[in-house]
Amino acid sequence: MRAKTTLLFAVLSLFSSSLLAIDTLDQKLLDFAKSSPPTEEMTLSSLAQLLRTEASTEIKAAELTFYWITEHIAYDFDSEQISGNNDDLERVLRTRRGNVQTFSQLYREVCIRMGLECHLIRGYVNFIAGKELPDYFYDGEVKDIPDKPNHSWNLVKIEGVYYGVDVSLGSGAIGGTEEEAVFVKKYDPGQILVSDGIFFKMHLPADPRWQFREHPIAIKTFFTRVPFEQMLAAHESAKQFDYQAAIAAYEKASAAEQRLMTLKSTLTFNPSNFNLRQYADALYNMGYTQSLGDYNTDRLLSARRYYQQAIDAYKRVDSSPAVDQLMAQAEQGITYIAYRLDSKK
């Protein structure tokens, strides 16, 4: 994992900044970020209040949040995995250490507490897609396709415009050797508050709605050695995708529903065993959550549907003792719901 990540960061230095990102770093905001380290009493809410008070606009608040994280949260080489779960962000503030996933989670949570609409996007990065190379490089061969998202970044919506923010790639690169890696701080404006350009060529969301394309690029196409324009052309005849309606539905959903929508889209986009297990677990959790609380017929019927969908999904996952146990628990959940419906308690 570290060798792949080292290569991924190293290639970053070959790219020039996007013209549709921030033109230059805001030195005043950067100096404020440097002079405002975490304290023992600091929480996500107090951090958000501190940063929002200093920033005169929403776009400046989003920029300042990027600087603060990159200045005070060190890259943790022992924790690079994109797990799909949420990290303990209060612990991150205390330890001042995080990984690619932690950075994007922390960025989202601080932005939300500042009143900004911000989403965490899990997906895939292909530096080749964002770079013009000699013709002989494009041999049409398919690179190894990851079985799960291997990177995460953010989209923050300001005045109706979505801006891409990649905290990890925007703050520097991993150098040194595989045995003794070091993180080299080097800001790349092409990864900070980007509305167009290379950023959206090299980042492929696992949920296609966040590609902002009527004809989304498929994952196999994204990892094929062809020019980016050829990637787009390969899907021009495909059925048109209403990504605007998909995003609108997502934004109206609850946090739990958003997670389920994302995992379902991720599975459809890349039907691997890992993504199937993630989706099955989310269905199970929805069933369990809906089955709790005071008696409510509609909620219990919803819980039963989620449990059954979880069982159907688990049957397609590679068998293991853990999967078998979850299936059994989902069946017990259905039995419990039937009892509550019959007794109306």
Q: Is residue 175 situated within a structural domain?
A: yes
Q: Is residue 205 situated within a structural domain?
A: yes
337 and 243 share a domain?
A: no
Using CA atoms, how far apart are residues 277 and 317, in angstroms rounded to an integer? 6
Burial environment of residue 250 by CB neighbours within 10 A (0 to 12, 13 to 18, 19 or more): middle
141 and 204 share a domain?
A: yes
Q: Residue 281 is part of which domain span?
A: 272-343
Per-residue model confidence as pLDDT tens digits over 232-243? 999 999 999 999
Angle, helices 273-290 vs 321-343, to 10°: value is 30
Q: Is residue 49 situated within a structural domain?
A: yes
Query: In this predicted structure, what is the pLDDT of residue 69?
Result: 96
pTM of the full structure: 0.86
Q: Is residue 260 situated within a structural domain?
A: no
Domain limit, last residue, from 217, 249, 281: 249
Q: Is residue 330 situated within a structural domain?
A: yes
Backbone angles phi, psi at 153, to 5 degrees: -150, -170
* Bridging pattern class, strands 97-98 and 117-125: unpaired
147 and 68 share a domain?
A: yes
Whole-number Cα distances in Å, 106 to 44, 88, 118, 207: 8, 10, 11, 20
Query: In this predicted structure, what is the pLDDT of residue 12?
Result: 38
Written as tens digits, the pLDDT of the chain (345 aa) is: 444 444 344 333 333 333 345 668 899 999 999 999 999 899 999 999 999 999 999 999 999 999 999 999 988 766 656 555 666 888 888 888 888 889 999 999 999 999 999 999 999 998 877 777 777 788 889 988 999 999 999 999 999 999 999 999 998 777 666 666 677 778 888 899 999 888 999 999 999 999 999 999 999 999 999 999 999 999 999 999 999 999 999 999 999 999 999 999 999 999 999 999 999 999 999 999 999 999 999 999 999 999 999 999 999 999 999 999 999 999 999 999 999 999 875
168 and 288 share a domain?
A: no
134 and 96 share a domain?
A: yes
Using CA atoms, how far apart are residues 121 and 344, in angstroms rounded to an integer? 41
Backbone angles phi, psi at 91, to 5 degrees: -65, -35
Query: In this predicted structure, what is the pLDDT of residue 310?
Result: 98
Q: Is residue 261 situated within a structural domain?
A: no
* Bridging pattern class, strands 172-176 and 161-165: unpaired
Query: In this predicted structure, what is the pLDDT of residue 3?
Result: 43
Q: Is residue 56 situated within a structural domain?
A: yes
Query: In this predicted structure, what is the pLDDT of residue 178?
Result: 66
206 and 331 share a domain?
A: no
Query: In this predicted structure, what is the pLDDT of residue 103?
Result: 92
Q: Is residue 90 situated within a structural domain?
A: yes
300 and 191 share a domain?
A: no
**Domains: count for the chain:** 2
26 and 85 share a domain?
A: yes
* Bridging pattern class, strands 161-165 and 151-158: antiparallel
283 and 240 share a domain?
A: no
Query: In this predicted structure, what is the pLDDT of residue 81?
Result: 60
CATH of the domain at 100: 3.10.620.30
111 and 181 share a domain?
A: yes
189 and 83 share a domain?
A: yes
300 and 232 share a domain?
A: no
Query: In this predicted structure, what is the pLDDT of residue 339?
Result: 94
